[in-house]
Structure 1
Amino acid sequence: MPGSSFEELLAEGASIPVDGWDFSWFEGRATEERPSWAYAKVISARMRTSSVALDVQTGGGEVLARIPRPPSVLVATESWLPNLLVAKRTLAPLGAVVVHAADDGALPFRTGTFDLVVSRHPVVTRWDEISRVLAPGGAFLSQQVGVGSVRELADYLMGPQPVSDVRNPRRAVSAAESAGLVVTYLREQSLETVFYDIAAVVHFLRKVIWIVPGFTVDRYRDRLAALHDHIEREGSFVAHAQRFLIEARKPD
């Protein structure tokens, strides 16, 4: 906050709970441009025409909770136990069943169960499992993190880093097709992400743990101090988040 010292901001960023995917704490302290396709509205529209739907890696259920009309059967999975508890509370008003499932493991559902599967920012996508649990004619719709997302922040703290190709949208298309799905839509965007104080940076890196693996305040104190000075001098630190929206269908 204005007038707070570097140490006070570090302590504040380190003290905010990181369970769930509610980013409201960042208001006034950081901003991220939203994709033009409006993921929450897209899945809300799809849920209206779905009968049996699944949200994979739901986090705290905050995005799924926005749908105004749930299908007759709504299920969500989450791997991290603190988020699992949050999701169960958040999604209870929709009548959703929330189950524990590892991000990289098999989905605990019968083959051909769901006519719609969605996932926002999955850690990993098991395309073979998505294909298995989809009913013939069913669709998978997912907003995913693209290549080198927020790399400016990672490079500032860690030095220039090699950019992995793992999250390349073209690889997602290839994996979907290899699993027997037909990709019907793919769109990419680069989105400006702005941090206005170092507390926001610290909280963000504690919450989104894959940006700087193994991040702790003590480990990166010197670079955080330099970044704090940059923000004080320039007014902000600007990075860019990479996102893509992909839809894949299971043939009838």
Structure 2
Amino acid sequence: MEDGLAQRDTLTTDLLSTLKDGILTLTLNRPEARNAMSDPMLEAMDRELAFAQDSRDVRCVVLQGSGRAFCAGGDVKAMGENPITPSSLDERVEYQRAIQRATSGRLVAMAKPTMAVIHGPAAGAGLALALACDLRIMARPAFLLTAFANVALSGDFGIGYLLARLVGMARAKELMFLPERVTSERALDLGLTNWVCEAEELEAQAALIAGRLASAPPQALAYMKEHLNSALSTEFGAYMDHEVRCHIDCSQTADHGEGVRAFAEKRAPVFSGD
């Protein structure tokens, strides 16, 4: 596993990427626009998440924002300045389908744990990116906002699907139809975030959780994520049949042997990923 801090070249300043101790940290970096999405940002995220999926050096992914916001979602100002024309409509639909699968879709599907660190507002598609992560931690002053109805849009980057799974259909419709700021405390009550802490504690708390994820047995976590992602759409018998195969596969790994030895020796296990 990579131990030293490595700054990765994302080919754009709109997304920063660092790898340290198995943690790939992706920072949305358009602070002057509250980290509103740009094509270069999303395309760089596509490349970095593909790298994360394939690299043994990456054990978990952290998504965060620079400046005062996590992410304002789509760049509404740019939408007004560069509207989609009838001649470019089909091309834009195909591009957005592909980029959504490469970002939100990959955060959900990749066989590694992901966490959003939300220090400021997460709105619209920026909220969708946060919800696509497996876990979320919020600073107390931060808030969430669906925002789409305010600009007469229906939502993208998987927002409705993710909300319905996290909070149930009635709450998801409330949040989408009647967009209001969701405070960190209400987000915790609704299940939209896992933890809330003071702003000055956020970085340390997030690093602690990410470190635990990066030191966990990767094969076991990959199967756990796969199982949980399919839990609401798979017949129970089929789910259990597949669960058994994965469980037995894990029992053949070196990490399982290390876990058993550590248990017997009353020490913390050190998982290698083998």
Establish whether TM, by shorter chain, passes 0.5: no
Q: Give the structure-2-normalised TM-score.
A: 0.27
Task: Compare relative contact order (CA 8 Å, sep 6+) and give the higher one, 1 or 2.
Answer: 1
Q: Give the structure-1-normalised TM-score.
A: 0.28
Q: Whose strand fraction is larger, Structure 1's or Structure 2's?
A: 1
